[in-house]
Structure 1
């Protein structure tokens, strides 16, 4: 069998993960519970964080992990770093930092002399900035930020969303393999490695020696094979049930208000005709009061025009980034910057309860803002498109209100008879992701303590014995890829890291190479 000698810096990693002898039954029970966890996650019987935390909790009474081991993941630097990156990504989205990318895409693909740019060239222009951005931000918020940008971009070039959104997903994954902070999976692996070997460290770009070639190869494949392999379908929204549609009003800013001006531009030139998941229902003229239903693209906008839009939550919120428009709730002149909420203001969705005092009364009659200290910005009514101004809408049971309110609104009205459901629409920190990551450390510890990791590692060693070290790499890569196809990446790492570590120790090969393999998309 081929072996690779370990350098002095890695000598400390030759100690086995689990020095204490554990009863065989603990290893067997651990493996059975892990299989159950994987099946439950694959079948989506419950949220991933709930399944993993339940599994971890069950290890405690069995004596496989202590309470300290179970909660240690919540103090791990990898998990905390992911939390910080989620906040940074939310800040990037809130400040409109993706606008330069949208501008770059529009300029780089601007058609000249009526010629159409080839799809391979478009894919290259799309993949390059996304992979760069995802190298320094978590994949999930990068994809979330770029989906509306690419949908609008595809509409302008008459390209099916699937031709751009699938490369978006792959580019964000491949870009994330180039730096230590590119994905939460990288940080989880490093956190596990540092727990197993306190002397281990890795620089921000050390992983690029593996990630960069993978990114280049993946980009080349998408450019060459993408035009033939990518499906040519419209968005899935067209084939599924229509998502919840809100109605909201925006006003065209006067030229002296700042923030850009759309006065004198047509609806098409202002970019308001093909907004993703958003439809311009009507235009109400400020001077004459005339109403133009389903306005034509060549309709010229005037100062003070009221534009009535219908769309999903994210699209309604995205209107706050359109230069030259301002949101005026209840028809007043006061404006709200949805992407720059101040202080403890948050975005809340509340459903009017059947026996609420709000039923059959208009928003203005209720005095909603002064009564609840909240500003309604959009209203959804199932099966009906509301055309009245928000202040004139007569509320009905089941109406969903999208509003800006103080954080204590959730606590004050969540269990009141006025609203059947009160929830925060968007949060910078995704607690589900953080709980999954924290639980991953405890489950990995359970595999170590029970001897399950050692059992699986010896099985891998036996299977890969004919091919030597190269066989170990292939086995780890394939096993991790198999798990990742069924469950989340972090859950797959939870299972495979202690196995890979123990296999590397037993075979006397460099442990850091296995860490690179586990970061594969």
Structure 2
């Protein structure tokens, strides 16, 4: 027979699940609110409510988020997008190229920061190869989840369970690869089933906005940093021919202008690359490791880079000046 506290706890849990399913409220807000309700109802004591914050598993997840952000800031994500993922011939090839390395990463890094790190790289990679991101995001998630089952640090659940095991008398907890004998076969099965069934379960949903988006023209100048990985590479091998909506107009090489740039043209340090195209593709250029925005842009205001920003403003329907002229 359930007591009043147990019934109240089940109702709070059901309410949290309902809010997560039916609303767009942040998950952390909903779950923390549920804990707060239990504390105010004297079902949990403050020490019990805060006990999870001292878990080794939680601290490990937090540290892995820092590692994932560091990998993104140092250009590893860009390298993955341009080199490891490569140029797939079809959707199935793209899914295999994506899922295999993500499963490996997720086995040694927590799957949540792995997905957070890979989402922007996968989105840009899909645009460059004209593949719908709807056919890649679910495989990315599945690969991260199942890859995390191969090691103790792969998922938050494994870390929490291992932390609970260590609290038991006479139990040392799990070693790093104790779960691999189950996780690796499961990973291979999930990868195979996802790729085999995706053509029916993951249709192409690029949407009207993606198919008929307007190309607002924008010109930007990028500099090839001396000593960067791009020096010595051709335009094509550097990934500068696959940018969606962005075209390399010319190269300014120490005052000598190279127009009609060939894909086989080799990049040199301090090359000034002039691109034109969709304003949204400027982000793709800034994510390429070894390129930086030129501070002295010919086509822009005479202002240093740190003082400039590219802003797009959307007027809401309830804006008080809708219908009036700018003046």
TM range (shorter): 0.7 to 0.9
* Structure 1 residue 143 corresponds to structure 2 residue 115: yes
Give the conservation status (yes or no) of the 8 Å contact 2:57–2:160: yes
Counterpart CA distance in 1 for 2:124 and 2:152 is 31
Q: In structure 2, what is the equivalent of residue 34 of structure 1?
A: 13
Aligned with residue 238 of structure 1, among 210, 213, 217: 210
Counterpart CA distance in 2 for 1:79 and 1:192 is 12
Counterpart CA distance in 2 for 1:118 and 1:127 is 14
Q: In structure 1, what is the equivalent of residue 242 of structure 2?
A: 274
State the Cα distance separating 1:53 from its structure 2 match. 1.4
Give the conservation status (yes or no) of the 8 Å contact 2:57–2:163: yes
Aligned with residue 79 of structure 1, among 58, 77, 91: 58
Task: Give TM-score, length-normalised by structure 1.
Answer: 0.49
Counterpart CA distance in 2 for 1:308 and 1:164 is 28
Q: In structure 2, what is the equivalent of residue 94 of structure 1?
A: 73
Aligned with residue 182 of structure 1, among 126, 145, 154: 154
* Structure 1 residue 126 corresponds to structure 2 residue 91: no
Q: In structure 1, what is the equivalent of residue 312 of structure 2?
A: 381
Counterpart CA distance in 1 for 2:302 and 2:314 is 20
Q: Which runs of 5+ in 2 are unaligned?
A: 316-327
Give the conservation status (yes or no) of the 8 Å contact 1:152–1:274: no
Aligned with residue 63 of structure 1, among 28, 42, 61: 42
Question: 3-state SS of the aligned residue for 1:91?
Answer: helix
Question: 3-state SS of the aligned residue for 1:135?
Answer: helix
Give the conservation status (yes or no) of the 8 Å contact 2:111–2:155: yes
* Structure 1 residue 251 corresponds to structure 2 residue 182: no
State the Cα distance separating 1:174 from its structure 2 match. 1.2
Aligned with residue 223 of structure 1, among 195, 199, 211: 195
State the Cα distance separating 1:221 from its structure 2 match. 1.0
State the Cα distance separating 1:240 from its structure 2 match. 11
State the Cα distance separating 1:273 from its structure 2 match. 4.0
Counterpart CA distance in 1 for 2:31 and 2:273 is 52
Task: Give TM-score, length-normalised by structure 2.
Answer: 0.73
Q: In structure 2, what is the equivalent of residue 468 of structure 1?
A: none
Q: Between Structure 1 and Structure 2, whose CA radius of gyration is higher?
A: 1
Give the conservation status (yes or no) of the 8 Å contact 1:246–1:311: no
Counterpart CA distance in 1 for 2:162 and 2:121 is 33
Aligned with residue 318 of structure 1, among 265, 276, 287: 287
Counterpart CA distance in 2 for 1:140 and 1:313 is 27
Counterpart CA distance in 1 for 2:58 and 2:218 is 38
Q: Residue deviations 1:24-63, cap 9 Å, x none?
A: 2111211122211221222225321122112212222322
Counterpart CA distance in 2 for 1:177 and 1:236 is 38
**RCO (CA 8 Å, sep 6+): is it higher in 1 or 2?**
1
Q: In structure 2, what is the equivalent of residue 328 of structure 1?
A: 294
Q: In structure 1, what is the equivalent of residue 322 of structure 2?
A: none
Pick closer, same or farther for the CA change 1:159–1:238 going to 2, 3 Å.
closer
Pick closer, same or farther for the CA change 1:45–1:135 going to 2, 3 Å.
same
* Structure 1 residue 202 corresponds to structure 2 residue 174: yes
Q: How many residues align?
A: 305
Counterpart CA distance in 2 for 1:64 and 1:221 is 44
Give the conservation status (yes or no) of the 8 Å contact 2:151–2:180: yes
